[in-house]
Amino acid sequence: MQEATFGDSLKKIRLSKGDSVRKVALYAGISASYYSQIENNKRQIPKPATLRKIATGLHISETEIFKLANLIPAESSAAKPVIHVSGLRMPADVDLPRRKPTQSAQANKIGLTNSRQQLHYPLSTHVNTQLPPWQAQAETIQWLKITDTNLVMLGILKSDLAVISTAAKACQLIPESPKLMAFNLTTAKTTVRQTLITTDQQVMLTTGLPTEKPLFLTLTEFKHQLAGAVINLYRDLH
């Protein structure tokens, strides 16, 4: 049996909702003839900006349409290549430059009973709301106070404390494996986003909220805006 094409998948979703081509195109803000050509496999898979419009027209998530377009890989048992921050290329034989750990890279570790996991937290008691760029510092582990209110879908609340590591291993990107990472998207603060490498070598940042569009960065932009990787989260329940 022939595998369904991208256009076939769109048509199946549209028909399941009882919508016409014209209605989907209207909500998507594109022409009905153009959308019809996509469904009938007479056009190549559109660019991400157009895919987001089609997702709106079909009332599906952007993550779902990116998966249909193979921009986000399906789960696979095959070995996963690693994208290294400094290498900006595949496969997994490019190492990040090893940097000498500073005193702030040291962390306390608490072992848990009946578990192999350990809780890590910085030795320093200083809490930051803004961290320096990843490439401008040595290996560190620091506190970051969450100031955003739009990370609820990621399980993160305002005033949570995140432990941010700049270690090479922590900052590696692995296809099919979303990771929480910290970024300097503005000059005012450091924020946390769920991060995923796509098959076209872009990095997708999301808050998890369906009403907020993902942000796509090139690997170079990712490297320049990265502050580190989230390795632990702490919350005051009092």
Q: What is the mean pLDDT of each run of 10 residues along the chain (238 residues)?
A: 83 92 89 93 89 89 86 48 39 39 58 72 85 79 92 88 90 84 93 87 86 88 93 79
**71, burial (CB in 10 Å: exposed 0-12, middle 13-18, buried 19+):** buried
Residue 90 has a pLDDT of 31
Residue 201 has a pLDDT of 79
Residue 86 has a pLDDT of 40
**51, burial (CB in 10 Å: exposed 0-12, middle 13-18, buried 19+):** buried
Rg (CA), the chain: 21
Residue 106 has a pLDDT of 56
Residues in Cβ contact with 225 at an 8 Å cutoff, skipping those fewer than 6 apart: 133, 183, 184, 185, 217
| Largest separation between any pair of C-alpha atoms in the chain | 62
CA 51 to CA 112: how far, in whole Å? 45
Residue 227 has a pLDDT of 93
Residue 175 has a pLDDT of 77
| Site of tokens 């990712």 | 222
Residue 190 has a pLDDT of 95
Residue 75 has a pLDDT of 43
18: left (phi over 0), alpha (psi -120 to 50) or beta: left
Residue 136 has a pLDDT of 57
In the structure encoding, which two tokens stand for residue 3, read together? 């595998």
Classify each residue of 117-127 as buried b or exposed e, where b means 16 or more C-beta atoms within 10 Å of its C-beta. eeeebbeeeee
Residue 191 has a pLDDT of 95
84: left (phi over 0), alpha (psi -120 to 50) or beta: beta
Q: Kindly list the distances between the CA atom of residue 179 and the CA atoms of 79, 176, 196, in Å, as whole numbers in the listed order.
A: 18, 10, 7
Residue 38 parent element (H or E): helix 32-39
Residue 238 has a pLDDT of 56
